[in-house]
């Protein structure tokens, strides 16, 4: 079973405590060695060495245990077992530290008493930052120290010592208030870190999902383009054959009604051919089959070619078709530019009933602007951005002026 949120927080708090246990070994060794040197001539060596040895064994043993179990506290059962061991070790450490007061204070040497009380006070204060993540461990350390200190001071008699005994208890109570505040801050920081980690994982998952969706969309778009290229290429042959059959039929003797039907059929065939050609060219571009080949060329031969191919359509509708002469040259792909211009001119002719079509060129800075003007029905301002979407056609019935069969 995966750990709950509360278990994960407790595990992180316990890791912080174990890190503090490991880091405090050096300081504990120096402090205990200092007290050994100070008391060496004042206390029986057996008592002093016993205290010194017990303190070092507890400190180094606790540090070794902390390093060994640090990574295992992610499991709730293991974390609870480790915390019980650490709790017991802090009681032992507090008892050993508190016994130092029982050894040093009865000497009634002011300098030794001040040094002993200062070191123990500093130890308790240091425990605020090291043990605040699991504050009951702080109590396991300071309660034995406070009890032994208060008891020793009280037993020495006299108002000053008994006042010091009371102050030692009040000092621990005040320190515990700081532990509570520090514990809350530590917990809040751990919760915030978990929330940030969860957000990062969520963002990674969403990014991966978006990447997969984009990849699937690209594959689908490629497959669509390939399908359209194949379908439009296969359809072009029967439509072309249909045009030939209609052309052959037009050479026969037909009655007036049959001639009108034939004209409608030819018009529909021309429209179908135009749409298939456009669809094939677009799908080939989308599929990446066509690679632009840039070269320098003059514009006038290209404009003349389009006029020769399409002017008869304008003549059939009694439209004026004009292409002013130009001596401009550009660097582009001539075939792709012809495709774009041809479609623009075809649309201009198709949706213009009166007036004409003008294709002009002009220099604009370092570039050239090719413009197609017509006197057709135009495009509403609010739909001019929409026409650049794939396969979008304006929902304007006036734009469909093909004759009805």
Give residue-wise pLDDT tens across range 263-302.
Answer: 878 777 776 776 677 667 666 666 666 678 889 999 999 9
Residue 168 has what pLDDT?
84
Please enumerate in sequence order all residues whose Cβ is within 8 A of that of 13, keeping only pairs 6 or more positions apart, or say none: 133, 134, 186, 187, 190
| pTM for the structure as a whole | 0.53
pLDDT computed for residue 343 by the predictor: 84
In which band, very low, low, confident or very high, does the pLDDT at 257 lie, cut at 50, 70 and 90?
A: confident
Comparing 43-52, 151-160, 367-376, the range with the smallest average pLDDT is 151-160
390 sits in the region (left: phi over 0; alpha: psi -120 to 50; else beta) called beta
Kindly give the interhelix angle for 334-350 and 299-316, rounded to the nearest 10 degrees.
20
* Residue from 62, 82, 86 nearest 72 by CA: 82
pLDDT score, position 60: 92
Distance between CA 34 and CA 331 in Å, rounded?
Answer: 87
pLDDT value of position 53: 93
Distance (Å) of CA 20 to CA 130, 131, 132, 144, 230: 5, 8, 10, 20, 71
In this predicted structure, the answer to whether residue 93 has a pLDDT above a threshold of 50 is yes
Q: What average pLDDT does the structure give for the chain? A: 83
What's residue 390's pLDDT? Answer: 62
- The residue-averaged pLDDT of 14-32 equals 87
34-87 confidence digits (pLDDT tens): 889 989 989 899 999 999 999 999 989 999 998 888 888 878 888 889 889 999
pLDDT at 1 over 70: no
Distance between CA 351 and CA 353 in Å, rounded? Answer: 7
Looking at the predicted structure, is the pLDDT value of residue 14 above 60?
A: yes
pLDDT of residue 402: 47
Work out the percent of the chain whose per-residue pLDDT is above 90: 18
Bigger pLDDT: 339 vs 362: 362
pLDDT, tens digit (0-9, with 9 covering 90-100), for 197-244: 888 988 899 998 988 888 888 787 777 666 766 666 667 678 777 778
> How many residues comprise the chain?
405
Please give the pLDDT value at position 252.
84
pLDDT at residue 188 is higher than 70 = yes
User: So what's the pLDDT on residue 15?
Assistant: 87
pLDDT of residue 161: 82
């Amino acid at each position: 079973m995966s750990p709950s949120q509360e278990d994960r927080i407790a595990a992180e708090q316990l890791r912080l405590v174990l890190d503090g246990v490991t880091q405090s070994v050096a300081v504990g060794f120096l402090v205990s060695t200092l007290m050994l040197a100070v008391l060496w001539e004042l206390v029986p060596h057996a008592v002093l060495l016993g205290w010194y040895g017990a303190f070092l064994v507890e400190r180094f043993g606790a540090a070794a245990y902390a390093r060994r179990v640090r990574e295992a506290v992610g499991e709730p059962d293991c974390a609870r077992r480790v915390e019980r061991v650490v709790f017991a070790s802090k009681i032992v450490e507090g008892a050993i530290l508190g016994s130092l007061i029982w050894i040093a204070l009865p000497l009634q040497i002011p300098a030794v008493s001040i040094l002993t009380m200062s070191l123990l006070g500093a130890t308790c204060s240091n425990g605020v930052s090291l043990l605040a993540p699991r504050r009951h461990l702080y109590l396991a350390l300071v309660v034995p120290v406070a009890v032994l200190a208060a008891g020793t001071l009280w037993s020495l008699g006299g108002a000053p010592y008994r006042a010091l005994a009371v102050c030692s208890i009040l000092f621990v109570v005040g320190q515990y208030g700081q532990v509570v505040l520090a514990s809350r801050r530590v917990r809040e920081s751990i919760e915030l870190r978990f929330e940030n980690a969860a957000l990062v994982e969520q963002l990674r998952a969403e990014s991966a999902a978006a990447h997969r969706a984009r990849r699937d969309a690209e594959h689908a778009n490629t497959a669509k383009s390939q399908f359209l290229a194949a379908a439009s290429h296969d359809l072009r042959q029967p439509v072309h054959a249909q045009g030939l059959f209609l052309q052959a039929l037009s050479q026969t003797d037909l009655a007036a009604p049959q001639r009108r039907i034939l004209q409608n059929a030819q018009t529909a065939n021309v429209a179908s051919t135009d749409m298939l050609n456009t669809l094939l060219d677009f799908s080939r571009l989308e599929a990446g089959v066509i690679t632009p080949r840039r070269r320098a060329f003059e514009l006038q031969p290209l404009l003349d070619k389009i006029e020769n191919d399409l002017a008869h359509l304008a003549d059939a509708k009694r439209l004026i078709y004009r292409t002013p002469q130009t001596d401009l040259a550009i660097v582009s792909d001539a075939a792709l530019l012809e495709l774009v211009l041809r479609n623009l001119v075809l649309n201009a002719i198709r949706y213009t009933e009166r007036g004409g079509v003008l294709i002009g060129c002009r220099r604009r800075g370092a570039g050239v602007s090719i413009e197609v003007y017509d006197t057709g029905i135009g495009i509403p301002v609010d739909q001019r951005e929409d026409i650049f979407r794939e396969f979008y056609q304006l929902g304007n019935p006036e734009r469909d002026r093909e004759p009805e069969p």
